[in-house]
Structure 1
Amino acid sequence: MTETNDHVFYSWSAQDEINPVEIVSSEGSTITDADGNTFLDFTSQLVFTNLGHQNPRLIQAIKDQADKLAVIAPAYKNATRTELAGRIADAAPGGLNYVFFTNSGAEANEHAVRMARFHTGRKKVLSAYRSYHGATATAMTLTGEPRRWANDNLDAHVGRFFGPYSYRSPFHSDSPEQETERALEHLEQSIILEGADTIAAVILETVVGTNGVLVPPPGYLKGLRELCDTYGIVWIADEVMVGFGRTGKMFAVENFDATPDLLTFAKGVNSGYVPLGGVIMTTDVRNTFAHRAYPGGLTYSGHPLACGAGVETFKIFEEEKILDRVNELADRVIQPALVELAAKHDIIGEVRGLGMFWALELVKNRETREPLVPFAAKGEDNAPMAAIGAACKKAGLLVIVGGNRIQIAPPLTVSEEELRRGLQIIDEALTEAGQHYEG
């Protein structure tokens, strides 16, 4: 038998320069490789195993669904898909009443944009520079971060704006409140200068994920809602990463008392056990297609096995009080521990996050806020961050290391002991990294 690496083509990689770790088993918050090494998973893989690895209830739900109805085309009604759509609509903020199922987050964003364009009769979509929305054509063009660069713009009708980022404010703000005011002024000017009557939608990650766990400052999302209403623009909230409990609410927008017209999801809806995503929409958007066919669909939309795991996800959240434990551990363990790390390590410029989603932004100098590594650093320029990730992995911890940040996103079912052990490993890795501090 040939090596798997001889035939598998890996994403985001130069094929001859990688040596993927083979994982043979997983359970709860840990994964085990072919050499018997066990790693505490503070990444939830790609931030999707919200209910942990090998959750027996999710696995049983898939088995039970397979026994009843393993697969059916999306044009047919089936009870499991109907139940999951109902549970999602009931859990979503008021007004988000209908669900279109996809197989991934990228597809969800693609279809949300398509819906917004047909609903408004306009084509242009505005997205933030610090964003990731997926790797399909429009989703990649919407993405603002460096992974877009090599792909170029695959959708001609996309414009960009600066989202709020209080720690590195593009608006030279002195407070979160000022950041909100100036960021909204900038967005409104962007809308006006792009031509308000040409813009179908503004898409924004409710809490920016891969690009820094950027929590919007107070009032920003309410202001975004008001701007969209003023100019007849659809607001798409991308919650592919932060939906289903990641921020301590079922949907992240609930933290900010603002409701979008379209909300996209994937990942946490069933912890990735079977691919599933979707778009939740208002009745107003849905009614655009009441007597006009929606020109889109997917062969596996609302796959019964995926929906079976999704229905069970809601039952687990309710019966095991997942949101309560996320918020309790965040308030009692994670936030205090990260604040202590910041007091101990000068290399930490800022701590930010919600629920089970946090970032440590690392700097060379706290006064100047110079990043530990340059933007989009590669090779030797990125060596300090690479060393931190390697030190954590050597000690048995997987963390997200991106840009000049350590990002922490364990399963929502992680134990207190596991949290404290992982945070201790990060503490030790930061002690080693302190040599790079120049302040």
Structure 2
Amino acid sequence: MAARTAADGLTLDAEAIALDRAHVFHSWSAQAHVAPFVVAGGSGSTVWDHAGHRYLDFSSQLVNTNIGHQHPRVVDAIREQASVLATVAPATANLTRGRAAEAILAHVPDALTKVFFTNAGADAVENAIRLARLHTGRDKVVSHYRSYHGNTGAAVVATGDWRRVPNEYARGHVHAFGPYLYRTEFWATTPQEECARALHHLERVVQSEGADSVAAILLETVPGTAGVLVPPDGYLAGVREIADRYGIVLVLDEVMAGFGRTGSWFAFDQHDVVPDLVTFAKGVNSGYVPAGGVLISSRIAATFDERVFPGGLTYSGHPLAMAAIVATIGAMEDEGVVENAAAIGRDVLGPGLAELASRQPLVGEVRGTGVFWAVELVTDRDTRTPAPASVVGALKAACLARGLLPFVAENRVHVVPPCVVTPDEARRGLAVLDEALTEVTATR
């Protein structure tokens, strides 16, 4: 086969864009204004288009390629499984599925004993809500306003952000404000005040709704798309106490935060709390094959020992996804991927972003842990006025022009590279972000 020329690559990129614009309907977008970005290949923390332009992936796509792009161990596992058994019904016993469940449960507290596999995070949340309602005999679900739980019936209504409003067809959902000291809803001035007042607010919401009508408190352990809002010390433990006080199921959503993203296997590992149900997806196999699931405590699982669980999915525990999970977790264990994420956050991203914030007037706050950080952009540090879309768009363009693929949301840039990112790559990404901020500040 003849070597591809630059002209060939440009032609393929143009074809990809033309086909996309002609035939693909994009999520969360006004279709006439979609400007697709071509990704033709990737390796580790780098992606490229057909023409050969390379980008350091500081987005992990949708914050899910934790083990990086095209990890050979995971790709080989998918290929091998496809050659043996490409699909199987969920009611069967399948060795790869069993090994995937075993591998996941090896990294959670002993109280969590079962895995219900789904196809993604949204249907994991749907089934966690179903489990909680059936277990308690109650209906209501309390979640945070600053949250995202997925784009299916109950999951999108559990979501707190604007995407909930056009989709409010599910019943029994109530929202409360969680802790966010930088933009406190509680007139707090310290993390301790923010924690105590947010917990008081949550308990009052539960009481006011009628505690005996609340089936679940559903929270992202670290809200991701809402801004990487790491909860203050004691908050999640306090939520656990509220749930126990009123017989409510505590569901922690680890779809984005799980499997190394925060520098630990699960984000709740850092907060002295054991949930009743845990939803996961994305990072469990870096999204190589769609997969998600619910980790279920023995107490809740026992509810369905003699009672039919009224839920199921054709592709629950799909063999290709399960093989990718086994290989991903094995590689993460053997290669110290979670430890690398913790070190990158502690030694490179945390200090680097703090230093950047000290110099860049557009930066109001940086916050995060592991390889899970947000840079909040403001036009005035004193008033904390959020930067408008035009500024964020200009910053994204400046990053792309310098070979950095960012993740932007509202007035923020999220610094979320793969968990396998090297210290040199992380420093290079911060340097590009610094240059882009300087450019945008100069042109305002």
Q: TM-score, normalised by structure 1?
A: 0.95
Partners of 1:39 and 1:236 lie apart in 2 by 36
Residue of structure 1 in register with 2:437 after alignment:
430
Task: Kindly provide the CA deviation profile for residues 49-82 of structure 1, in whole angstroms up to 9, marking residues without a partner as x.
Answer: 1011111110001111122222110000011111
**Map of 2:369 onto structure 1:** 354
Which whole-Å CA distance do the structure 1 matches of 2:75 and 2:92 have between them? 25
Alignment check: 8 A CA contact 2:259 2:338 kept:
no
State which of 302, 308, 331 in structure 1 corresponds to 2:317.
Answer: 302
User: How far did 1:126 drift?
Assistant: 0.7
Q: Contact 1:372–1:436 (CA<8 Å) still a contact in 2?
A: no
Tell me if 1:161 matches 2:176.
yes
CA shift digits 1:212-266 (9 cap, x unpaired): 0000001000000000000000011000001000001101100101011000000
**Cross-structure match for 2:89:** 73
Q: 8 Å contact 2:346–2:369 — kept in the other structure? A: no
Per-residue deviation at 1:176?
0.5
Aligned partner of 1:293 in structure 2 is 308
> Is the 1:90–1:97 Cα contact (8 Å) retained in structure 2?
no
Matched-pair identity in %: 51
Query: SS of the counterpart of 1:248?
Result: coil
The CA RMSD measured in Å over matched residues stands at 1.4
The aligned runs of 1:23-422 (5 Å cut-off) are: 23-151=39-167, 153-373=168-388, 382-422=389-429
Shift in Å, 1:436? 8.1
Structure 2's unaligned 5+ residue stretches are 1-14
The aligned residue for residue 6 of structure 2 is none
Amino acid of the structure 1 residue aligned with 2:431: Q
CA distance in 2, matches of 1:23, 1:398: 11
- Could you tell me whether the CA contact under 8 Å between 2:127 and 2:294 is conserved in 1? yes
Aligned residue number for residue 22 of structure 1:
38
Alpha-carbon contact 2:195-2:232 (below 8 Å) kept: yes
Letter in 2 for 1:403: E
Cα pair 1:399 1:406 within 8 Å, conserved: yes
Q: Structure 1: state its 5+ residue gaps.
A: 374-381
Q: Closer, same or farther in 2 for the Cα pair 1:203/1:436, shift >3 Å?
A: farther
Any idea what the Cα deviations from partners look like across 1:352-387, whole Å, max 9, x if unmatched?
1010000111122222222223xxxxxxxx101111
Quickly say closer, same or farther: Cα 1:436–1:122, change in 2 above 3 A. farther
Q: Separation in 2 of the partners of 1:351 and 1:298?
A: 40
Shift of 1:30: 1.2
8 Å Cα contact 1:80/1:307 also seen in 2:
yes
2:58 and 2:407 in contact (8 A); partners too: yes
SS at match of 1:258: coil
Question: Are the counterparts in 2 of residues 94 and 259 from structure 1 also a CA contact under 8 Å?
Answer: no
Give the deviation of 1:302 after TM superposition.
Answer: 0.5
The one-letter code matched in structure 2 to 1:420 is: R
Query: Deviation of residue 205 (structure 1)?
Result: 0.4
Q: Secondary structure at the match of 2:40?
A: strand
What's the offset of the Cα at 1:416?
Answer: 1.7
What is the CA–CA distance in structure 2 between the aligned matches of 1:311 and 1:145, rounded to whole Å?
Answer: 34
Q: Which runs of 4+ in 1 moved over 4 A?
A: none
Q: CA deviation at 1:435?
A: 4.7
Tell me the secondary structure at the aligned position of residue 229 of structure 1: helix
Name the stretch that deviates more: 182-191 or 6-15. 6-15
Q: How many residues align?
A: 428
**Which deviates more, 327-336 or 195-204?**
327-336
- TM-score w.r.t. the length of structure 2 is 0.94
The DSSP-based 3-state class of the residue aligned with 1:3 is: helix
The answer (yes or no) to whether the contact 2:264–2:339 under 8 Å persists in 1 is no
